[in-house]
Amino acid sequence: MFELLGLSQLSTSFAPSIQNHLRMSELKVLHAENQSLAAEGLKQVLSENQIAKKIYRVNKSEHIESGIIAYEPNLCVIDYSETGQFSISDLENIIKKYPQINILVISDDSSIVRVKKVLGLGVHGFLTRSSDTNEIILAITKISEGEKYFCSKIIDILVNESDRHDVLSKIDGNLTQREQQIVKYIALGKTNKQIAYLLRISHHTVHTHRKNAMKKLAVNTTTELVLYAIYNDIIELTY
């Protein structure tokens, strides 16, 4: 799998800080991957860097749900493709039925339509098979801290020039402070219920602010809100 096995490339200045943060983690990972080499590569990275307490694997789409029920993972790492064992439909199903599970996608999909659809589902991270050890650890660290992580290749696909023009041309600039807070949390993958709890306001108030913000920005999807948040530095996106 990509450069996962190149553990000697791990920066000595970078690795200790990550290990210290996650050594006592209760993170349990379910890896949905049908290629044994890729599965062993990720397992080796997570084990040797003490990232996860437990690492489980399923190699078929129909085993994902039983794996979630049996292992109760905090993080699901999944490689979807149009022709492989796992699909976008699997992502949709996991997110709908198990919203408490963080999702990290590892895929070489270059279709902007599909990538934007996946992002719109609310996944927490997106890497490609060329991502190295450092980036895998960083992505999982960011996700465990409640942030999102998208590698540079995905960002390049996502925000091409036409998207950049569309999103920037829609910026109103008149969002209230509360609306900006709502947009930030939405971009970070929080649900309306979670946002209401964090800001100590009602679910109805969150819904109203969300609707008003989307109207001001002339956007209709979560993906467009994420793009707005990225380009206006409402969220800090490391890639």
218: CATH: 1.10.10.10
Residue 207's nearest CA partner among 227, 182, 188, 226 is 182
Taking the chain, what is the end-to-end CA distance rounded to the nearest angstrom?
20
Tokens 């108030």 sit at which residue? 205
Q: Is residue 140 part of a domain?
A: yes
* pTM strictly above 0.75: no
pLDDT of residue 113: 78
Residues 62, 168 share a domain: no
Final residue of a structural domain among 139, 158, 177: 158
Torsion of CA 15, 21, 24, 29, to 10 degrees: -70
pLDDT of residue 75: 95
pLDDT tens by residue, the chain, 239 residues: 433 333 223 222 233 334 334 343 579 999 999 888 888 999 999 888 888 889 999 999 999 999 999 999 999 999 887 777 899 999 999 999 999 999 999 998 888 778 888 888 889 999 998 888 999 998 998 898 888 888 878 877 766 644 554 544 445 558 899 998 998 888 777 788 889 999 999 999 999 999 999 888 888 777 777 777 777 767 655 44
pLDDT of residue 19: 39
63-77 b/e (C-beta count within 10 Å ≥ 16 → b): ebeebbeebebbbbb
Residues 104, 44 share a domain: yes
Cβ proximity of 233 and 144 under 8 Å: no
Residues 66, 170 share a domain: no
pLDDT of residue 166: 53
pLDDT of residue 69: 95
Residues 172, 101 share a domain: no
Residues 154, 82 share a domain: yes
Residue 203 structural domain: 161-231
Helices of type H across the chain: 15-22, 36-48, 64-71, 88-97, 112-121, 133-144, 152-158, 161-169, 177-187, 192-199, 203-217, 222-231
Final residue of a structural domain among 134, 158, 182: 158
Question: Residue 92 sits in a domain of what CATH number?
Answer: 3.40.50.2300
Q: What is the pLDDT of residues 205-228, one digit of tens each?
A: 999 999 999 888 888 777 777 777
Cβ proximity of 124 and 102 under 8 Å: yes
**C-alpha span between 62 and 82 (Å, rounded):** 16
Q: Is residue 239 part of a domain?
A: no
Question: Considering its fold, how many domains does the chain have in total?
Answer: 2
Residues 48, 77 share a domain: yes
DSSP type of residue 101: S
pLDDT of residue 62: 94
Residues 165, 65 share a domain: no
Final residue of a structural domain among 158, 186, 203: 158
Strand partners, 57: 31
